[in-house]
Chains A and B, each alone.
Chain A
Amino acid sequence: MNTFIIVFLLLLGAYFVAVLEVWISKGRFQLAAPLFAAIAFLGRESFIPRKPDQLFYEVGPVLLLLSAVLAAAVIPLTPDLIMTDLATGALFINAALVYVLVALLMAGWGPDGAYAMIGGWRFLGQLIAYAMLIVMPITAVVMRAESLLSTQIVISQAGLWNIVYQPLGFILFFIASMALAFLPPFDLMIAKGELASGVEAEYSGMRLAIFRLGRLVLIITLASANVIFYLGGWQGPELFGYSLPPWAWSAIKILAVTMVMLFAGHYMPRIREAHLLSWCWMFGIPLALINIFIVGVLLLEFP
């Protein structure tokens, strides 16, 4: 039962992200735009390259959608609404999100075309940059919670949200999640100006719809992960003894983080994965290690 509710909410969130993307790119707030776009996708002709690697060509977009939904399986929206409260929840999110890379590699190699293949390998370069920046801030968060259970991580932020306790970790995790979801300015692999849409170049029709849907669900999943690790999940301050129900706080926070993610990179130039690699490995990883050190010292000083 929980599974169906959460999948339905994920699709609702994906619809909202699609509306936001239309708002950013066209400047108008059209609530029905994703619906028309989905119907158009179903009706369009589906081009297939001449000699694709059939297995990879078909499996790529599906694996992207699957890994995004799997990563959302351990994210609690309210204290009871969680698909499965694994004892290693924080690590499982990371494990499921690595398969986004495998999906993009398959989608890049499958169509047997140069543009898609280079787009796929560019994402591998990005992964080497952002992978450590996802794992190390999660380590600092888990240090405070003293448990890998995601519900326990939210409960440990009852006194002070992690964004105030570990701001450095939040900035690094936010940037790394934007790079994982290949949002602008890290969207070298699917941008329209780069290699004729890179990985999306050879997909059309139903497969492109699933690819795009997988990407939208991935954005919502990453926003939820940001919220439960750093923004206190379903908890909110009380005002005159009244407080919103937990699901309302979760919804507001997730939608706010999504809006910041989408609007933040819109005006920045696209970052090449070579520059991202040097920035992350020269500045990002030392900062993440300093973050772990600072959190350790804080935890020992103020029990």
Chain B
Amino acid sequence: MSPELMIALIAGAALFGIGIYGALSQTNLVMILMGVELILAGAMVNLVAFWRYLHPDVAAGQMFVLIVMTVMAVEMAVGFGVAIARFRARGSVEMEEAVELKG
């Protein structure tokens, strides 16, 4: 149980917590995307820490990190496409006003 592994895991947990706070509390779509970016960043730190300190000879750990980076990029691209479409339809991307499908 090395101290470096502990520090990296705690940092990853902190980033994850901040990301969840941001994704749940913000009203604007772009800020929610930033919260999700922080969540994925926390996950990546954990992955690299586990790869480095527990199984450094298995390259699949680094592959997993590449896939998470790919997911970050793809989610941003699709999210911004949806934001543009929403902005053109309604004039704002505030989630508080997106109540058309409610109830």
Asked if chains A and B are in direct contact (CB within 8 A), the reply is no
Q: What residues make up the interface of A, taking CB atoms closer than 8 Å to B? A: none
Q: What residues make up the interface of B, taking CB atoms closer than 8 Å to A? A: none
